Protein backbone atom coordinates (compact mmCIF):
# COMPACT_ATOMS: atom_id res chain seq x y z
CA UNK A 1 0.00 0.00 0.00
CA UNK A 2 1.17 3.48 -0.84
CA UNK A 3 2.26 5.37 2.27
CA UNK A 4 3.54 8.93 1.91
CA UNK A 5 3.75 9.67 5.63
CA UNK A 6 7.04 10.97 7.06
CA UNK A 7 7.66 10.89 10.81
CA UNK A 8 8.92 14.46 11.24
CA UNK A 9 8.97 17.75 9.33
CA UNK A 10 12.77 17.61 9.32
CA UNK A 11 12.82 14.22 7.59
CA UNK A 12 10.19 15.38 5.09
CA UNK A 13 12.54 18.20 4.05
CA UNK A 14 15.59 15.91 3.72
CA UNK A 15 16.39 16.85 0.10
CA UNK A 16 15.65 20.58 0.11
CA UNK A 17 18.74 22.13 -1.43
CA UNK A 18 20.47 25.52 -1.29
CA UNK A 19 19.17 27.80 -4.03
CA UNK A 20 15.81 25.97 -4.27
CA UNK A 21 12.63 27.73 -5.29
CA UNK A 22 10.05 27.00 -2.60
CA UNK A 23 6.33 27.76 -2.46
CA UNK A 24 4.67 28.31 0.91
CA UNK A 25 0.90 27.96 1.24
CA UNK A 26 -1.07 30.07 3.66
CA UNK A 27 -2.74 33.43 4.00
CA UNK A 28 -1.54 35.19 7.13
CA UNK A 29 -2.60 32.75 9.90
CA UNK A 30 -4.83 30.50 7.76
CA UNK A 31 -3.45 27.32 6.21
CA UNK A 32 0.17 28.21 6.94
CA UNK A 33 2.64 25.28 7.17
CA UNK A 34 4.31 26.64 10.30
CA UNK A 35 5.95 23.39 11.37
CA UNK A 36 7.52 22.98 7.93
CA UNK A 37 8.76 26.59 7.97
CA UNK A 38 10.37 26.03 11.37
CA UNK A 39 11.99 22.82 10.08
CA UNK A 40 13.32 24.74 7.07
CA UNK A 41 14.78 27.28 9.48
CA UNK A 42 16.48 24.49 11.43
CA UNK A 43 17.77 22.96 8.21
CA UNK A 44 19.48 26.26 7.38
CA UNK A 45 18.91 26.05 3.62
CA UNK A 46 20.35 29.17 1.97
CA UNK A 47 19.68 31.16 -1.18
CA UNK A 48 15.96 30.33 -1.24
CA UNK A 49 13.60 31.92 -3.73
CA UNK A 50 10.38 32.00 -1.73
CA UNK A 51 6.92 32.13 -3.30
CA UNK A 52 4.23 33.06 -0.79
CA UNK A 53 1.29 35.39 -0.57
CA UNK A 54 2.61 37.32 2.39
CA UNK A 55 5.77 37.89 4.37
CA UNK A 56 5.28 40.47 7.03
CA UNK A 57 5.33 41.35 10.66
CA UNK A 58 4.08 38.31 12.58
CA UNK A 59 4.22 35.96 9.59
CA UNK A 60 6.09 32.79 10.44
CA UNK A 61 7.92 33.04 7.10
CA UNK A 62 9.81 36.03 8.50
CA UNK A 63 11.87 33.63 10.65
CA UNK A 64 13.74 32.62 7.49
CA UNK A 65 15.25 36.10 7.55
CA UNK A 66 16.89 35.51 10.95
CA UNK A 67 19.78 33.68 9.29
CA UNK A 68 19.36 35.35 5.87
CA UNK A 69 18.01 32.18 4.20
CA UNK A 70 15.98 34.08 1.58
CA UNK A 71 17.59 35.44 -1.57
CA UNK A 72 14.34 36.52 -3.19
CA UNK A 73 10.61 36.65 -2.48
CA UNK A 74 7.77 36.54 -4.99
CA UNK A 75 4.76 37.78 -3.00
CA UNK A 76 1.69 40.00 -2.96
CA UNK A 77 2.09 41.51 0.55
CA UNK A 78 5.58 42.38 1.79
CA UNK A 79 5.95 46.05 2.67
CA UNK A 80 3.44 47.51 5.12
CA UNK A 81 1.90 50.95 4.79
CA UNK A 82 2.85 51.80 8.35
CA UNK A 83 6.53 52.06 9.13
CA UNK A 84 6.14 52.00 12.89
CA UNK A 85 7.53 48.47 13.18
CA UNK A 86 9.28 46.54 10.48
CA UNK A 87 9.57 42.84 9.72
CA UNK A 88 13.04 41.36 9.34
CA UNK A 89 12.22 40.95 5.65
CA UNK A 90 11.46 44.66 5.33
CA UNK A 91 14.73 45.57 7.02
CA UNK A 92 16.72 43.29 4.74
CA UNK A 93 14.82 44.51 1.68
CA UNK A 94 15.65 48.14 2.55
CA UNK A 95 19.31 47.22 2.93
CA UNK A 96 19.21 45.55 -0.51
CA UNK A 97 19.97 42.14 0.98
CA UNK A 98 16.91 40.40 -0.45
CA UNK A 99 15.10 40.78 -3.76
CA UNK A 100 11.33 41.26 -4.03
CA UNK A 101 8.95 40.67 -6.94
CA UNK A 102 5.48 41.96 -6.11
CA UNK A 103 2.60 40.34 -7.99
CA UNK A 104 -1.14 41.10 -7.87
CA UNK A 105 -2.74 38.34 -5.83
CA UNK A 106 -5.08 37.11 -8.56
CA UNK A 107 -2.24 36.98 -11.08
CA UNK A 108 -0.07 35.27 -8.45
CA UNK A 109 -2.45 32.36 -7.88
CA UNK A 110 -3.46 32.11 -11.55
CA UNK A 111 0.22 31.86 -12.56
CA UNK A 112 0.64 29.00 -10.08
CA UNK A 113 -2.51 27.30 -11.32
CA UNK A 114 -1.29 27.70 -14.93
CA UNK A 115 2.00 25.98 -14.07
CA UNK A 116 0.09 23.07 -12.57
CA UNK A 117 -2.44 22.89 -15.39
CA UNK A 118 -0.08 22.93 -18.37
CA UNK A 119 -1.21 26.41 -19.42
CA UNK A 120 1.67 28.19 -21.16
CA UNK A 121 0.37 31.64 -20.24
CA UNK A 122 -2.87 33.57 -19.83
CA UNK A 123 -4.27 36.97 -20.64
CA UNK A 124 -5.44 39.31 -17.90
CA UNK A 125 -6.30 42.99 -17.68
CA UNK A 126 -5.05 43.19 -14.08
CA UNK A 127 -1.93 45.33 -14.04
CA UNK A 128 -2.47 47.09 -17.38
CA UNK A 129 -1.32 50.69 -17.21
CA UNK A 130 0.59 50.07 -13.96
CA UNK A 131 4.14 49.17 -12.95
CA UNK A 132 3.11 45.50 -13.14
CA UNK A 133 2.98 45.82 -16.91
CA UNK A 134 6.74 46.47 -17.22
CA UNK A 135 8.61 43.99 -19.38
CA UNK A 136 5.47 42.04 -20.24
CA UNK A 137 3.98 41.29 -23.64
CA UNK A 138 0.63 42.92 -24.43
CA UNK A 139 -1.69 40.77 -26.53
CA UNK A 140 -4.76 42.21 -28.21
CA UNK A 141 -7.73 39.88 -28.53
CA UNK A 142 -10.81 41.11 -30.38
CA UNK A 143 -9.86 44.73 -29.80
CA UNK A 144 -9.07 44.47 -26.08
CA UNK A 145 -5.55 44.67 -24.65
CA UNK A 146 -4.35 42.14 -22.10
CA UNK A 147 -1.11 41.36 -20.31
CA UNK A 148 0.40 37.97 -21.04
CA UNK A 149 1.30 36.38 -17.70
CA UNK A 150 3.48 33.28 -17.49
CA UNK A 151 3.30 30.17 -15.29
CA UNK A 152 5.05 30.10 -11.92
CA UNK A 153 6.42 26.83 -10.56
CA UNK A 154 8.79 25.67 -7.86
CA UNK A 155 11.12 22.88 -6.82
CA UNK A 156 9.22 22.36 -3.57
CA UNK A 157 5.84 23.34 -2.21
CA UNK A 158 5.32 23.38 1.56
CA UNK A 159 1.60 23.34 2.21
CA UNK A 160 -0.84 22.84 5.07
CA UNK A 161 -4.14 20.98 5.26
CA UNK A 162 -6.51 19.89 8.01
CA UNK A 163 -6.55 16.14 7.31
CA UNK A 164 -4.73 13.67 5.11
CA UNK A 165 -4.73 9.97 4.40
CA UNK A 166 -1.63 7.88 3.65
CA UNK A 167 -2.20 8.24 -0.09
CA UNK A 168 -1.76 12.01 0.26
CA UNK A 169 -5.38 13.03 -0.21
CA UNK A 170 -5.94 16.33 1.60
CA UNK A 171 -9.01 17.86 3.23
CA UNK A 172 -8.93 21.56 4.03
CA UNK A 173 -10.84 23.59 6.59
CA UNK A 174 -12.32 27.07 6.31
CA UNK A 175 -10.11 29.76 4.85
CA UNK A 176 -7.16 27.39 5.26
CA UNK A 177 -7.49 26.46 1.59
CA UNK A 178 -6.19 29.68 0.02
CA UNK A 179 -3.02 29.00 -2.02
CA UNK A 180 -2.48 25.41 -0.85
CA UNK A 181 -4.50 23.57 -3.54
CA UNK A 182 -2.91 25.52 -6.42
CA UNK A 183 0.62 25.21 -5.04
CA UNK A 184 0.13 21.45 -4.62
CA UNK A 185 -0.11 21.20 -8.41
CA UNK A 186 2.89 23.34 -9.33
CA UNK A 187 6.02 21.98 -7.63
CA UNK A 188 8.31 19.01 -8.23
CA UNK A 189 8.06 17.88 -4.61
CA UNK A 190 4.96 18.67 -2.55
CA UNK A 191 5.15 18.32 1.23
CA UNK A 192 2.00 18.69 3.29
CA UNK A 193 1.75 19.41 7.00
CA UNK A 194 -1.58 18.21 8.41
CA UNK A 195 -3.32 18.29 11.77
CA UNK A 196 -4.95 14.87 11.43
CA UNK A 197 -3.88 11.69 9.68
CA UNK A 198 -6.29 8.87 8.79
CA UNK A 199 -5.98 5.59 6.94
CA UNK A 200 -6.54 5.54 3.18
CA UNK A 201 -10.23 5.05 2.50
CA UNK A 202 -11.42 6.92 5.58
CA UNK A 203 -11.82 10.31 3.91
CA UNK A 204 -15.11 11.03 2.19
CA UNK A 205 -14.30 11.29 -1.56
CA UNK A 206 -16.68 14.27 -1.79
CA UNK A 207 -14.60 16.37 0.60
CA UNK A 208 -11.08 15.93 -0.77
CA UNK A 209 -9.63 19.31 -1.77
CA UNK A 210 -6.31 18.05 -3.14
CA UNK A 211 -6.23 14.55 -4.63
CA UNK A 212 -3.26 12.46 -3.49
CA UNK A 213 -1.69 12.43 -6.94
CA UNK A 214 -0.33 15.89 -6.19
CA UNK A 215 1.18 15.17 -2.79
CA UNK A 216 4.56 13.50 -2.30
CA UNK A 217 4.98 13.62 1.48
CA UNK A 218 2.68 14.03 4.47
CA UNK A 219 3.67 14.96 8.03
CA UNK A 220 1.28 15.09 10.93
CA UNK A 221 2.08 17.92 13.37
CA UNK A 222 0.49 19.71 16.27
CA UNK A 223 -0.45 23.11 14.87
CA UNK A 224 1.76 25.90 16.20
CA UNK A 225 -0.39 28.37 18.17
CA UNK A 226 -0.69 31.69 16.37
CA UNK A 227 -1.74 35.09 17.51
CA UNK A 228 -3.56 37.65 15.44
CA UNK A 229 -1.22 40.56 14.82
CA UNK A 230 -3.86 42.93 13.31
Partner 1 sequence: MTAGLSRELIALRVARELREGMVVNLGIGLPTLVSNFLPPDQQILFQSENGILGYGRISEEEFDPDLINAGGQPVTLAPGASFFDSATSFAMIRGGHIDVAVLGGLEVSEKGDLANWYLPERGGGSIGGAMDLAFGARRVIVAMTHTTADGRPRVRTRCEYPLTAPGVVDLIVTDLAVIKVEPGGLLLTEVAPGVDPDFVQSRTEARLRPSPDLREMEL
Nearer to its own copies, 5 or 123 (CB): 123
Q: Between residue 161 and residue 200, which ones bind its own copies under the rule CB under 8 A?
A: 172-174
Nearer to partner 1, 135 or 230 (CB): 230
Size of residue set near partner 1 by CB under 8 A:
78
Contacts of 203 (CB under 8 A, 6+ apart): 163, 165, 169, 171
Q: Is 90 in the site for its own copies (CB under 8 A)?
A: no
Binding letters toward its own copies, positions 105-144, x by CB under 8 A: -----x---x--xxxxxxxxx-------------x-xx-x
Q: What distance in Å separates the CA atoms of residue 40 and residue 10, rounded to the nearest whole number?
A: 7
Q: What distance in Å separates the CA atoms of residue 168 and residue 3, rounded to the nearest whole number?
A: 8
Q: What distance in Å separates the CA atoms of residue 210 and residue 177, rounded to the nearest whole number?
A: 10
Q: What distance in Å separates the CA atoms of residue 183 and residue 153, rounded to the nearest whole number?
A: 8
Q: Between residue 101 and residue 130, which ones bind partner 1 under the rule CB under 8 A?
A: 102-107, 109-110, 112-113, 115-119, 124-130
Size of residue set near its own copies by CB under 8 A:
24
Through-space distance between the first and last CA atoms of the chain, rounded to whole angstroms = 45
Q: Between residue 127 and residue 186, which ones bind partner 1 under the rule CB under 8 A?
A: 127-132, 162, 165, 167, 169, 172-182, 185
Q: What distance in Å separates the CA atoms of residue 36 and residue 223, rounded to the nearest whole number?
A: 11
Of 97, 148, 213, 223, the residue at the interface with its own copies (CB under 8 A) is: 148
Amino acid sequence: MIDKVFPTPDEALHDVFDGATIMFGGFVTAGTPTNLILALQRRGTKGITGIANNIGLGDKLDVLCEQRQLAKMIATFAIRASGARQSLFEEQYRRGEVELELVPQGTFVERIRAAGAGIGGFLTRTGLGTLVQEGKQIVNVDGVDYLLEKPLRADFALIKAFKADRLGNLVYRGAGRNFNPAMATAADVVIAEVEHLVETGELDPETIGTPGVYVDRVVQCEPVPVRWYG
